[in-house]
Structure 1
Amino acid sequence: MTFRALPQELIRAKRDGQALSPEAIGELVGGIADGSLSDAQVGALAMAIFLNGMNAAETVALTEAVRDSGEVLAWRGLGEGLDLPGPVLDKHSTGGVGDLVSLVLGPWIAACGGYVPMVSGRGLGHTGGTLDKLEAIPGYDIAPTRQRLRTLVREAGVAIVGQTAELAPADRRLYAIRDVTATVESLPLIVSSILGKKLACGLDALVMDVKSGSGAFMPTLEKSRELAQTIAEVASRAGTPTTALLTDMSQPLAPCAGNAVEVREAIDLLLCNKRGGRLLEVTRTLAAELLLAGKLAGKLAESRDAALALLDERLASGAAAERFARMVAGLGGPADLLERPERHLPRAPVVRPVHAARSGRVTRMDTRAVGLAVVTLGGGRRAPSDAIDHSVGLTGIAALGDAVDGERPLAWVHAASEADAERAASQLRAAIEVNDVAPEGVVLPTLIQDVIRREAP
């Protein structure tokens, strides 16, 4: 990388609170991607941004530079017979517990005529990772070749995979350095990291699910709202119409948490074996926003009512489930996963109920602690090198307002051993508060708290 100004002078300018030009930001991100900036310089730059922030123009420039630091996928006009007849759409969540929306939303959108090249990640801390869930499916390849990815998106309409080495390489290095320099919690760095990878997928529109509550990434509702607004604004200014939903994570989104158990939950929802619930409501709302977007290739629905009607029809008809099956088989998984999930998904040897210390109603939940109980079971990582036990987790998790007693447990724990089950049970009892109150005495949080829409300029 050839710098027009010494990189240390650009870092000094940011350290001293000056705004950097798009050209300077582009040079710095290029140096991160190709290694011409040392780890010390990248760490110093991250700390300067962490301490002094970035204005809106800088954040847009940083996001675009991260996006453009590697390959940006194109889906039309390449002369490869790949001109997609519908919009290229995607969704991203800031993470939570029991959040398996991606597994359902991707094939659901594909069944409605959209194309979803979804680049997902692994679990982080107490939050479950989409890739970890998919790896519970035997044979599923999260790292297909570029050609296999493109072909599957064209033929099945959806492919949920991991980040390739070619997509946003600057983000991979910058994130690794942020992780060890205490600079993760910087809004411009968070936004550019999320959007750099997503926008490199050549999207026509994006929907963001930003969580708030005890299981959310951001510590307060105000911080979550600020993140949602910033993501929507920056993505749209970078050329991708974006809607951000602020949704509740004061309890698990699905009544389960883990890897194989969440895949099974997704299959049950796609097959309409389960109806209603928080998971379906959030997924349906996010999907409707995507059907109303995608202007570059034409909207898939002209009104919210039309979008919801189309979604309901494609779910009930089995079209969404069929797209999921095609995606799994196309990436090396079993062709009969939907018909015989019990044959393919791993099951824990110990399954037992966890009862509360007293009867009553669930009045409060430390959702982060519930997620950490899954990590304790082996369903998440304490260190990046840890192997995951895909069979363990929680099912039948009681929701806020539910009555629990000697018959109705707080949850069922799926563990590798009795000792693991007992440790997780103790964590659950400490995380879930039960009191003797009437049903009307439990305040249930609003699930969809805000919708922030931004069009591209």
Structure 2
Amino acid sequence: MTARDTIEAIRDGAQLPQGALLEFADGLATGAVSDAQAGAFAMAVLLRGLDRPARTELTLGMRDSGKVLSWAAGRPVLDKHSTGGIGDCVSLVLAPALAACGACVPMISGRGLGHTGGTLDKLEAIPGVGTDLPDAKMRLIVENLGVVIAAANTTLAPADRRLYAIRDVSATVESLDLITASILSKKLAAGLQGLVLDVTVGSGAFMRTLGEARALADALVETANAAGCRTGAIISDMNQPLAPAAGNAVEVASAMEVITGVRTGPLHDLTCTLGGAALRLGGLCDTEAQGAERIAEAIGSGTAAEIFGRMIAAMGGPIGFVDSWARFLPEATVIREVKAPRDGYIGAIDGTVLGRAVVGLGGGRNVETDRIDPAVGLSDILPLGTPVTRGQPLLRLHASRSPHADAAEAAIGRAIEITDTCPEIPPLVHDRIGL
């Protein structure tokens, strides 16, 4: 079936013959499918949608368009993926904790997207750390430590890399089917046997309603399981930052406080919840509760922190980072407190506005070629429901220049609402899909 035939069939809502989307994905990777055809395909899928078998076939075709990693037997190969949010640095804590519990964790991560931060950008806030690793080095780190957090290289899911770029300029990013195939093709190319998904919902997430979040979670779980990877999803709340920070170095600091046992709270709790689900999916425990306890023990004993420190050193970072992480992380030149304008409660937080304020400070990208300033961001963010008095600090702002700080402070004033009464605090976990 030609690329034109495939596009026409999707456009007209016709049944696709088996193998058509495998061929199309291969054509994306080899260049046999033109940019015009790729754009038309993306628009047809956005408008018409794909049924479950077709969505699975597209995902598998994009996965198989490049190299699919394999790992030595003995450890279940597990991973986690988040749809993004503010203060979401779970991966930095969870990946080494899973490895400490006996999993093999080749975590292929991404960079910041829109108002949300990226795990790779956070890791690279640590001096010397490089995340663009050749296959041989990535494999060596996993064999020695059980975990690595790295970027997808050009050999993994090249069809997705091509289609993602086309979607970005053709107004087709929002397609549920293409989002599903894009996320899972890269994850499955890592050779996973189990995957836990954190689908975020709320003011700081891409999915603003529970209905939207459930639709995405259902599509991801159904497709991944059909592709042969045991998968479940947690729908977690993003109506406030998960950690009390937004930015790169400041989020690394929050993650280090959790992984070294200095702080608990929502970041710690969600890490344990997701980790418990992953361990059960991988057959390393009987129940999610048992798995969560094992993750908490790996953190509390210092084992997860030790593995994280060794991973950082293996990726070019400083030896001894875990023991004195604060002295290694970059600091902004302008640090100021943003204060409450009146008495009341932290009644609402617009996470998207906070995230865009961080991007405006230089902590994210407006275009792909923008360079990130790892030191800027927001820290010590008060959570929802906190009683405040006029003049009390709501957060600390980290900037490179005073004009940047001024602009961010104005945005923060719009993002944090002070109310007369204490708001209802949303649960950390809204739902479970496939678990």
> Which digits, 9 at most, give the CA deviation of each residue in 1:268-299, with x for residues without a partner?
11110112x111111110000011111xxxx2
2:39 touches 2:166 (CA, 8 Å); kept in 1? yes
> Which digits, 9 at most, give the CA deviation of each residue in 1:4-60, with x for residues without a partner?
x33212211111111323311011111001001110010011111111000011101
Partner of 1:239: 228
2:342 touches 2:391 (CA, 8 Å); kept in 1? no
Q: How far apart are 1:399 and its partner, in Å?
A: 0.9
Partner of 2:416: 432
Q: State which of 287, 302, 319 in structure 2 corresponds to 1:335.
A: 319
1:302 counterpart = 2:286? yes
1:96 counterpart = 2:85? yes
Structure 2 CA distance, aligned partners of 1:91 and 1:22? 30
Partner of 2:423: 442
1:9 counterpart = 2:1? no
Q: How far apart are 1:422 and its partner, in Å?
A: 1.4
Q: State which of 304, 307, 312 in structure 2 corresponds to 1:323.
A: 307
1:139 counterpart = 2:135? no
**1:110-129 equivalent positions in 2, closer than 5 A:** 110-129=99-118
1:108 counterpart = 2:97? yes
Structure 1 CA distance, aligned partners of 2:299 and 2:335? 31
Q: State which of 26, 38, 48 in structure 1 corresponds to 2:44.
A: 48
Q: Amino acid of the residue matched to residue 223 of structure 2?
A: V
SS of equivalent residue, structure 2 residue 13: coil
Q: State which of 354, 361, 368 in structure 2 corresponds to 1:370.
A: 354
Q: In 2 relative to 1, CA 14–404 (structure 1 residues): closer, same or farther, beyond 3 Å?
A: same
Q: How far apart are 1:84 and its partner, in Å?
A: 4.1
Partner of 1:80: none
Q: Amino acid of the residue matched to residue 429 of structure 2?
A: I
Q: How far apart are 1:407 and its partner, in Å?
A: 5.4
Q: How far apart are 1:122 and its partner, in Å?
A: 0.5
Q: Amino acid of the residue matched to residue 206 of structure 1?
A: L
Q: How far apart are 1:308 and its partner, in Å?
A: 2.7
Structure 2 CA distance, aligned partners of 1:101 and 1:168? 24
**Aligned pairs, how many?**
435
Partner of 2:330: 346
Q: Amino acid of the residue matched to residue 12 of structure 2?
A: D
SS of equivalent residue, structure 1 residue 340: helix
Q: State which of 206, 231, 243 in structure 1 corresponds to 2:195.
A: 206
1:365 touches 1:432 (CA, 8 Å); kept in 2? yes
SS of equivalent residue, structure 1 residue 410: strand
SS of equivalent residue, structure 2 residue 154: coil
Structure 1 CA distance, aligned partners of 2:208 and 2:48? 20
Q: State which of 60, 70, 84 in structure 1 corresponds to 2:66.
A: 70
Q: State which of 398, 412, 415 in structure 2 corresponds to 1:414.
A: 398
Structure 1 window deviating more from structure 2 (264-273 vs 89-98): it is 264-273
Q: Amino acid of the residue matched to residue 52 of structure 1?
A: R
TM-score relative to the length of structure 2: 0.98
Q: Amino acid of the residue matched to residue 162 of structure 1?
A: A
Structure 2 CA distance, aligned partners of 1:205 and 1:30? 25
SS of equivalent residue, structure 2 residue 258: helix
1:230 counterpart = 2:219? yes
Q: How far apart are 1:326 and its partner, in Å?
A: 1.0
Q: How far apart are 1:140 and its partner, in Å?
A: 1.0
Q: State which of 250, 253, 256 in structure 1 corresponds to 2:245.
A: 256
Partner of 1:176: 165
Structure 2 CA distance, aligned partners of 1:180 and 1:309? 45
Partner of 2:14: 18
Q: State which of 263, 268, 277 in structure 2 corresponds to 1:289.
A: 277
Partner of 2:57: 61
> Which digits, 9 at most, give the CA deviation of each residue in 1:113-142, with x for residues without a partner?
111100000101100000110110111111
Structure 2 CA distance, aligned partners of 1:55 and 1:394? 42
> Which digits, 9 at most, give the CA deviation of each residue in 1:190-223, with x for residues without a partner?
0000000000111110000001111111232211
Structure 2 CA distance, aligned partners of 1:393 and 1:10? 46
Partner of 1:396: 380
Structure 1 CA distance, aligned partners of 2:18 and 2:374? 44
Unpaired segments of 5 or more residues in structure 1?
A: 76-82
Q: Amino acid of the residue matched to residue 163 of structure 1?
A: A
1:92 touches 1:209 (CA, 8 Å); kept in 2? yes
Q: How far apart are 1:303 and its partner, in Å?
A: 2.6
TM-score relative to the length of structure 1: 0.93
Identical positions, percent: 49
1:363 touches 1:400 (CA, 8 Å); kept in 2? yes
Q: CA RMSD in A?
A: 1.1
